[in-house]
């Protein structure tokens, strides 16, 4: 299980023992932390901060996605793990390739923060 916190951390937990097995630290509160569908990566988005893909085993940053102008409110993978969706306070959803190297599309239509 992975959790996120306003203390600027995301933590991976062993649910059998209750022990934290990995601690990821940011500079801003982390609003979203999710495993990739294959379980190899952790995707985090920090309020007023960066969206990152982390290696689940080592805790190292694999890539940092370009931050939306008003920060990301949510980040998630699509089920086949080919894309990442980023919601933002600017009402837009941005779709990235799963490697976090290229923005593929911008979805418009929300009237408030995209989550």
Distance (Å, whole) CA 115 – CA 113: 6
Whether the predicted pLDDT of 75 surpasses 80? yes
- DSSP H or E run through 59: none
Give all domains of the chain, ordered by start, each with its CATH number. Answer: 2-107 (2.130.10.10)
Confidence of residue 70 (pLDDT cuts 50, 70, 90): low
Predicted local confidence at residue 115, as pLDDT: 64
Give the pLDDT confidence of 21-44 residue by residue, as tens digits: 999 999 889 989 999 999 999 999
Question: 62 CB contacts (<8 Å, ≥6 apart)?
Answer: 41, 52, 53, 54, 55, 100
């Amino acid at each position: 299980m992975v959790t996120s916190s306003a203390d600027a951390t995301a933590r991976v937990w062993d649910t059998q023992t209750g022990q934290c097995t990995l601690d990821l630290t940011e500079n801003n509160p982390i609003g979203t932390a999710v495993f990739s569908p294959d379980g190899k990566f952790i995707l985090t988005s920090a309020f007023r901060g960066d969206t990152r893909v982390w290696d689940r085993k080592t805790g190292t940053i694999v890539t940092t996605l370009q931050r939306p102008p008003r920060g990301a409110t949510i980040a998630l993978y699509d089920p086949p793990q080919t894309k990442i969706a980023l919601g933002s306070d600017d009402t837009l959803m941005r779709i990235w390739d799963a490697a976090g190297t290229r923005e593929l599309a911008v979805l418009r239509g929300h009237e408030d923060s995209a989550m």
